[in-house]
Amino acid sequence: MGCRRVQKTMGFDTLSIIAGGYMYIDWSLNSADVSASCVRYIRRGSVGRIGAHTFKSSPYALVVKHLTIGGIGFLLIAIAGFYLANMSMITNEMIETFAIIIALYWLISFAMLACAYQQTRSMQGTRWFQKSSSGRLTAYTWMKFAPIIIMYNAMSLLGQWYFKAFSKGQKYPLTPYAISDSVSVVASPRLTQTGINTHLTDWLRSPENNKPSVCYQIIVVDLAAEISSHVNKVAMTPKDTVSTPVHYLYLPLLDLQPLSDVVLKDYIDLFERIDVLIQSAETEVLIINHKDKIEDGFITLINFHCVMGLSRSIGVQVLYSLYCGTLTLYNYQSWLEQHYPHAHLKDTYLSQSLVEAIANYQSIKYSKTPL
């Protein structure tokens, strides 16, 4: 009788938690309905153009999406634990308690991720997804977001398989693009050590004479907040492949978050830091060689990387090319179709307003430069 009473009590508690989860999902879905109604109201012109632009660019839809995923996962884990507990007559209390803890942990992780999507400055995302100077996610970040980090690591492996499968037919090759005679840029997914060794050999090969170039430095720009960077793997590359300084820069961007949700200053700060590294390296080469110009063969390789190499890395490379003046408002779309036909860059993700802002900033910067 005692065992049955305990089992009924635990079952009642679990069902209460599951019912709470259903209420949570219902609230999330109702919030989505409210937001959809607001969009329709705005489109009718009742709020005006400014209000429509503000609401359209808000990350509200992504917040609701991750709250819903958290609630659904919570329910599935809690229900699975409830049934497993009923199937076991000895360790039912332990199984049920463990399942509830895991379910709550899942829910809290996705709730915190939803909060991170509400940030308007990407640099504030460093307090959510903290990384070491070597590009590794900290233990504290793993404690907060372990389910999400595991999911995105699986997506990273999928992205690497995707490029490996299609690059054999040269359909989607990871080929560096020359910003200038001494600077090349390439966007990629997060790579394994084998992938780094293979791609670096190709990236550091001069297209003119097909011979290895003397590469003075590599700049790895990490745009993936949810996984660790491959910069440490670049540093571990065999010395006969690359024996150059490796610099690491981190701009935490969240998956699917429109690039226009990040303030312009964060992009400009990142690009200016890249410029400083390039200029300091070129100055050092000139001083060491006692010459007044850079010789052929000197290359700064900039590698923008995200999780799968389909949106964030390519989008920021486009912005950097606009910043440098290599691309313009009139040719960047055709350039994308030619060099990155696989890119997932819809107008809602890489907005025309952001492209124009970067291009106009480049024009203003060079117009102020004294002749």
pLDDT tens digits for the chain (371 residues)? 444 444 444 444 555 555 555 454 454 444 444 344 333 333 333 333 334 344 444 557 778 887 888 888 888 887 887 777 777 665 677 777 888 889 899 999 999 898 888 765 655 556 789 999 889 999 999 999 999 999 999 888 887 777 666 655 555 567 888 888 888 899 988 988 877 887 777 777 655 445 455 657 899 999 999 999 999 888 766 554 445 788 999 999 998 888 988 889 999 999 999 999 988 877 766 666 655 555 555 678 999 999 988 899 999 999 999 999 899 999 999 999 888 888 888 888 999 999 999 988 865 554 454 43
CA angle 56, 59, 62 (to 5 degrees): 115
Number of other CB atoms surrounding residue 177 within 10 Å = 17
pTM above 0.85, yes or no: no
Radius of gyration of the chain (CA): 25
The whole-number pLDDT of residue 180 equals 84
Distance CA 118, CA 65 (A): 12
In angstroms, the Cα distances linking 32 to 10, 41, 52, 61 are 33, 14, 17, 7
The whole-number pLDDT of residue 52 equals 39
The SS3 assignment for 205 reads strand
The whole-number pLDDT of residue 48 equals 37
Tokens for 46, please give them.
């009742």
Closest C-alpha among 339, 331, 338 to residue 313: 339
Closest C-alpha among 330, 131, 103 to residue 230: 131
Tokens for 338, please give them.
């030619």
256 Rama class: left (phi>0) / alpha (psi -120 to 50) / beta: left
Are 250 and 222 spatial neighbours (Cβ–Cβ below 8 Å)? yes
The whole-number pLDDT of residue 126 equals 66
Using the structure block, give the residue that is written with the tokens 């153009």.
49
Distance CA 213, CA 236 (A): 19
The whole-number pLDDT of residue 47 equals 38
Count of residues making up the chain: 371
Distance CA 353, CA 215 (A): 36
The whole-number pLDDT of residue 7 equals 44
